[in-house]
Amino acid sequence: MGGESAPVTAVVNPGQSYDMLIDQTAPQDPGKYTGVWQMVNNNGIPFGERIWVQITVPGEVQPTAPAPTATPLPDPIINYLTVSADTVNQGDLLVVSWSFSGVDLASATLTRTNPDGTETPLYGGEDVAPQGQYEDLMMTVGTHTYTLNVSTESAGSETATVQVTVNQ
């Protein structure tokens, strides 16, 4: 181990102690190393006990594995949103059918946009089941748009629409 000699700078009488610091430089190569020191007098003659220290220079630090990345949850999937017919007559019964799936579902609503532009939340705005049907008596002439909106707590949302024309 690299370092320099350190002279004793005071008179040390028998029974006294003397503290000293010696700066040392550890080797570059990994391994175990032992340093041994011996005190010598002004004439270079060794005396007293030898002092030693043993160190370990670690090898190259192995990189730690990166933290696993979170697997994103899949967006909700709307399998289908269909109607029994694209065009019906006033007074006909229309059947709207749907199917969806997802993880951590937060909401799933079905709405109808009427020919005058107003929006009607079906089922009173409550969430719909992952698979179901809604029967709608078509009394207003014009184009109606049914929208299924499914969202999750963390992954986003999915929307599907289908239109029906009601004739007189």
Range 85-114 burial, b when 16+ CB lie within 10 A, else e: eeebeeebebebebebebeebeebbbbbbe
CA–CA separation, 117 and 109 (whole Å): 18
Q: Looking at the DSSP assignment, which residues form a beta bridge with residue 25?
A: 2
87-135 pLDDT, tens digit each: 999 999 999 999 998 888 889 999 999 999 999 999 888 999 999 999 9
Question: Which domains does the chain carry?
Answer: 77-167 (2.60.40.10)
65-77 pLDDT, tens digit each: 777 776 666 778 8
Q: What is the pTM of this model?
A: 0.57
Helix and strand numbers, DSSP H then E, in the chain: 0, 12
